[in-house]
Chains A and B, each alone.
Chain A
Amino acid sequence: MRRSALRIAAVLALAGPVLAACGSGGTPNPAADGANTQAPAPADSALDPNATARVRLVLEPTSLNLTTTAGVALEQVLLDNVYQGLLGVDTNADNKIVPALASGFETSPDGLTYTFHLTPGAAFHDGSPVTAEDAVWSLQQVLAPGSKQPNAKTLATIAGVAAPDPATVVITLRQRDTNLTWALTQRQGVIYKKGTDFAKLDTTENGTGPFRLDGWQRGSAITLVRNDAYKGAKAKVAKVVLSYIPDRNAANNAQATGQTDIETAAEATLLQPFTGNDRFTVLRGTTTDKYTLAINNAKAPLNNPAVRHAIRRAIDKDALIKSLGGAGVRLGGPIPTSDPGYQDLTTIDPHDAAAARKALADAGVGELKLTLKIPNIYPAAIGDVLVSNLKDAGIELTVKQQEFTAWLSEVYTARDYDLSLVNHAEPHDVGNFATPGYYFGYDNAEVRDWYAQAVAAPDERTRTDLLARIGRRVAEDAGADWLYQAQTLTVVRKGVSGAPQHHTSSRLNLAGIGITK
């Protein structure tokens, strides 16, 4: 059935694009597209060790300096591939924390001392071995007063770092911190060679990962080459070209015409060229991308929980996800599926436009006019759906699309907004709701207290329970609305194996990519 439909479409395509559209009527169901697993990688002997893998990415970093410049675009390219910390993350196993430059670690019973054992043979790209002294120096740079590391505060519980011997690093804490190991897997945990000039990281690179930075054609591509001296599992291709193609259609064309081997972040509504086509595999992966509708809790009338609940009820999330091609799952609270503390909270504030309208009237808010500020990197369709949904509940919504930098200064820093939409992609970020100064404007003493307890929790179970409690409370307070947790679609050309599947926008481990001879 599907085959014949395809054949018809193909024939019509020859007769011109307009006819093709008329012929391929009906609604595609992209939600069904995409495999959860990819074919097992062939034996190394079947792979071409000299191959170049070409990968489409969306957002180009503005700098290659992890110590000064924030942004997930840097981490996506540099973490795991070029730079490593003591610990890493396995994105294919629900972001499990795994060994990297440290082969293992022990925790003292009071949870205040962490002892890490360095991986034997680990070396910087200049050939010098990774020593405990390098690790101590690197972490001290983050902890130093005036540190420019954007994530420095996540290591604030560290009291001291020491190197009892060249292969051992000991971190002591002021108080228990269950977030420590996660923080060490991130950019703030990256180990640089002692004495590295951080000001020059944009032009010189001396990492420890399986790839070396080869070049950056600004506005176009970043090139990585295999580090042949790497002691761990070596990269399976000699070179990776990361092409930045922001436009969804252009990226699709590039993949369909063979300009790229792997297309990350493929548009769900644009999968026709790839589905049911044995030249391509479409991988569906999980992310921690929470498309969060921030509601300014500090601004009237949004400081009234009833109004916030009404807004939440007005939005038809299922329809929204469907409209966007089905590449997402509903998320009723601040914690994504792969994070500790996740529970299904979608029953809170179910969609009901009439109830929302009534709730607004009850709250004494008749004509409500709101402005939504949304960075222009996100699909405009989201704004269109929200306008339509809120209109049904009697709210007149105006959308203001702005550049991300403008958003940062107006919304994030100055908190001048009613509603705002941003993809909060970071995992483990429920703490934002326990930070009163955060732009959400949400402040609940209990939540703050629970979060502090969770951070200092003696065991994983206590921590998870507390986080779950926070998640529920924030959702019940309508601290924000969560439109959906995005899924990521990756299109892989036949003959390419080991493509990253999950969490590709924050970490993209390229070492496993192989290309068949």
Chain B
Amino acid sequence: MTVFVVRRLGLLALSLLGASILTFALLRLLPGDAAASVGGITADKAQLRSIRHDLGLDRPLIAQYWTWLTEVPTGDLGHSQLNGSSVTGELGEKLRVTGPLVLGALVLALVFAVPLGMLAAVRRERRDGTAISVASQLGIALPTLWVGLLLILLFAVQTPLLPAQGFPVEGWADPGEASRSLVLPTLTLALSEGAVLLRFVRSATLDVLHRDYLRTARAAGRTRTGALLRHGLRNAAGPVLSMLGVQVAALLVGAIVVEKVFTLPGVGSMLVADVGNRDLVKVQGEVMLLVAIVLFVGFLVDIAQRLIDPRLADVRVREVTG
């Protein structure tokens, strides 16, 4: 296991390096740069040149990449090219919005998708199972922004129960108010992701439903449901877990849209704004954070899968004894 974890960590580092090259290179394709943002429509060409020089934009790309790369491992993602603020610091601030949003949506999605997905599989020939299936299909099909706008209309404007937009300026100083402003966004995000997750759970459950070991467990005295919970869940968890990395990626991307719909100051809206302003050092940091989260979740999933299903760990044993 230790060897596996170490090897897997090595791969993780390699992946991050690859991602950093990809990110850096892709962003340099963008037309316009931070100097244009700073200079606006009033700076003349000489001024733009001087701004470019001050920002180090006239240095060779390799050198720019190297500077950035050598800073990243120290936890320093650089500074904004427009206002000099620390990227790490600002990301930390923004994560206080995006973190609870994405985690909340993930938890909510799991809480609803796992039991409902199993139910939809077990009772797929019955009306309730079909209803859940149809609902999940609709949940996937509805555009996120549409759902968000509708929720705002219903629960913030027509019936003013929750804030229509924004996040308290004081942040989490008033946890109640901060949580209230995240209710609708979390719901919006959880709905679409939960619907996708539900399909995964349903198909994974369908897969284990006819396995012999469930019959063995029932023969040993479990009820159908009992066997499914005790043995089916563990075995269906593998495939569902393996989708979790992708799901987290989808949630983070979904957060970009949801944060815009609800005008939330999170990593997603920060990313969109910084791409627009060509504050590329910040964009690099943000993208790397998102990529790192997804890759890290993938890493955790791999480890978790081995813990759940040790067959993955010692294939050799099977070859010998099988």
In the complex, are the beta carbons of A68 and B38 less than 8 A apart? yes
Assembled-state Cα–Cα distance A221/B263 (Å)? 11
In the complex, are the beta carbons of A219 and B269 less than 8 A apart? yes
A250 at the interface (CB under 8 A from B): yes
| Chain B residues positioned under 8 Å from A259 (CB to CB) | 163-166
Assembled-state Cα–Cα distance A257/B152 (Å)? 11
| Chain B residues positioned under 8 Å from A407 (CB to CB) | 32
| Chain A residues positioned under 8 Å from B219 (CB to CB) | none
| Chain A residues positioned under 8 Å from B277 (CB to CB) | 62, 405
In the complex, are the beta carbons of A218 and B42 less than 8 A apart? no
Assembled-state Cα–Cα distance A221/B269 (Å)? 13
In the complex, are the beta carbons of B165 and A405 less than 8 A apart? no
| Chain A residues positioned under 8 Å from B278 (CB to CB) | 405
| Chain A residues positioned under 8 Å from B43 (CB to CB) | 70, 150
In the complex, are the beta carbons of A405 and B260 less than 8 A apart? no
Assembled-state Cα–Cα distance A71/B45 (Å)? 17
In the complex, are the beta carbons of B33 and A254 less than 8 A apart? no
Per-residue interface assignment for chain A, residues 244 to 284, with 1 indicating a CB less than 8 Å from any chain B CB and 0 otherwise:
01110110011011010000000000000000000000000
* 8 nearest A-B residue pairs (beta carbon): A70-B40, A219-B265, A253-B164, A405-B32, A220-B265, A409-B32, A63-B83, A150-B42
- Chain A contacts to B: CB under 8 angstroms: 13-14, 17, 60, 62-65, 68-71, 146, 148, 150-153, 199, 202-203, 217-221, 223, 241, 243, 245-247, 249-250, 253-254, 256-257, 259, 402-410, 412-413
Assembled-state Cα–Cα distance A510/B296 (Å)? 47
Q: B240 → chain A, closest Cβ, in Å? A: 34
Indicate which residue in B84, B94, B276 contacts A202 across the interface (CB closer than 8 Å). B84
Indicate which residue in A64, A245, A256 contacts B166 across the interface (CB closer than 8 Å). A245
In the complex, are the beta carbons of B275 and A254 less than 8 A apart? no
In the complex, are the beta carbons of B83 and A202 less than 8 A apart? yes
**Selected interface stretch from B9-17, B62-70, B154-162, B196-204:** B154-162
* CB-based nearest B residue for A253: B164
B169 at the interface (CB under 8 A from A): yes
In the complex, are the beta carbons of B38 and A69 less than 8 A apart? yes
- Best-buried of A70, A245, A247, A407 by chain B (most CB within 10 Å): A70
In the complex, are the beta carbons of B164 and A403 less than 8 A apart? no
* CB-based nearest B residue for A258: B160
* CB-based nearest B residue for A424: B41
In the complex, are the beta carbons of A220 and B42 less than 8 A apart? no
B216 at the interface (CB under 8 A from A): no
B223 at the interface (CB under 8 A from A): no
In the complex, are the beta carbons of B85 and A218 less than 8 A apart? yes
In the complex, are the beta carbons of B157 and A63 less than 8 A apart? no
What's the tally of chain B residues with a CB closer than 8 Å to chain A?
55
In the complex, are the beta carbons of A151 and B171 less than 8 A apart? no
Indicate which residue in A63, A70, A219 contacts B94 across the interface (CB closer than 8 Å). A219
| Chain A residues positioned under 8 Å from B33 (CB to CB) | 405, 409
* CB-based nearest A residue for B162: A257
Indicate which residue in A148, A202, A257, A412 contacts B51 across the interface (CB closer than 8 Å). A148
In the complex, are the beta carbons of A408 and B36 less than 8 A apart? yes
In the complex, are the beta carbons of A63 and B82 less than 8 A apart? yes
Per-residue interface assignment for chain B, residues 135 to 167, with 1 indicating a CB less than 8 Å from any chain A CB and 0 otherwise:
000000000000001001110111010011111
Mind listing 10 A-B residue pairs with CB under 8 Å?
A: A14-B158, A69-B83, A153-B44, A218-B265, A219-B273, A247-B165, A250-B263, A254-B166, A257-B160, A404-B37
Besides the known contacts A17-B158, A408-B32, A408-B39, 19 further A-B residue pairs in the complex with CB atoms under 8 A apart: A17-B153, A62-B82, A62-B277, A62-B279, A63-B38, A68-B51, A70-B40, A151-B42, A217-B171, A218-B90, A218-B93, A221-B169, A245-B166, A250-B152, A250-B263, A253-B157, A259-B164, A408-B41, A413-B36
| Chain A residues positioned under 8 Å from B169 (CB to CB) | 217, 220-221, 223, 241, 243
| Chain B residues positioned under 8 Å from A199 (CB to CB) | 84
Among B35-79, those with CB < 8 Å from A are: 36-45, 47-48, 50-51, 54
* CB-based nearest B residue for A146: B50
In the complex, are the beta carbons of A410 and B31 less than 8 A apart? yes
| Chain B residues positioned under 8 Å from A64 (CB to CB) | 83
B30 at the interface (CB under 8 A from A): yes
In the complex, are the beta carbons of A218 and B37 less than 8 A apart? no
In the complex, are the beta carbons of A148 and B85 less than 8 A apart? no
B270 at the interface (CB under 8 A from A): yes
Assembled-state Cα–Cα distance A150/B167 (Å)? 34
| Chain A residues positioned under 8 Å from B54 (CB to CB) | 148
- Best-buried of A152, A245, A408 by chain B (most CB within 10 Å): A408
| Chain A residues positioned under 8 Å from B30 (CB to CB) | 406
Indicate which residue in A153, A219, A254 contacts B164 across the interface (CB closer than 8 Å). A254
| Chain A residues positioned under 8 Å from B265 (CB to CB) | 217-220
Indicate which residue in A13, A63, A223, A254 contacts B165 across the interface (CB closer than 8 Å). A254
In the complex, are the beta carbons of A150 and B39 less than 8 A apart? yes
Indicate which residue in A148, A257, A408, A413 contacts B156 across the interface (CB closer than 8 Å). A257
